[in-house]
């Protein structure tokens, strides 16, 4: 695959190589792509978490709350292998 880079991107890669942060341009680009994937994964996690929070708030508004001490007791039971779902 042939890739064209903007001059500022080429300069950045060359600078990273000159500072001996990476052994090759391929290594710089590989790290950049890994970070991009991590960002996409984080954004997906963030969207899913926001949806879960919205679902929880909606449940609270419908009066479907569970008392805090009940939740703590269930978590302790799960932690100790006494899953009583």
Verdict on whether the full-model pTM lies above 0.85:
no
* Residue 1 scores a pLDDT above 90: no
Q: What is the DSSP letter of 16?
A: H
Domain boundaries, the chain: 43-85
Indicate the length of the chain as a whole number: 85
Q: For residue range 6-41, what is the model confidence (pLDDT) as tens digits?
A: 999 999 999 999 999 999 999 999 999 999 999 999
Q: pLDDT grade, residue 85 (50/70/90)?
A: low
Distances (CA, A) of 6 to 15, 37, 52, 58: 14, 21, 40, 47
């Amino acid at each position: 695959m042939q890739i064209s880079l903007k001059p500022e991107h080429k300069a950045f890669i060359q600078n990273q190589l000159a500072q001996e942060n990476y052994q090759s341009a391929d290594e710089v680009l590989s790290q950049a792509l890994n970070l991009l994937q991590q960002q996409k994964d984080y954004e997906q996690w963030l969207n899913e978490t926001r949806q879960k929070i919205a679902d929880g708030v909606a449940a609270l508004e419908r009066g479907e709350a569970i008392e805090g001490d009940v939740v703590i007791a269930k978590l302790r039971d799960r932690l100790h292998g006494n899953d009583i779902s």
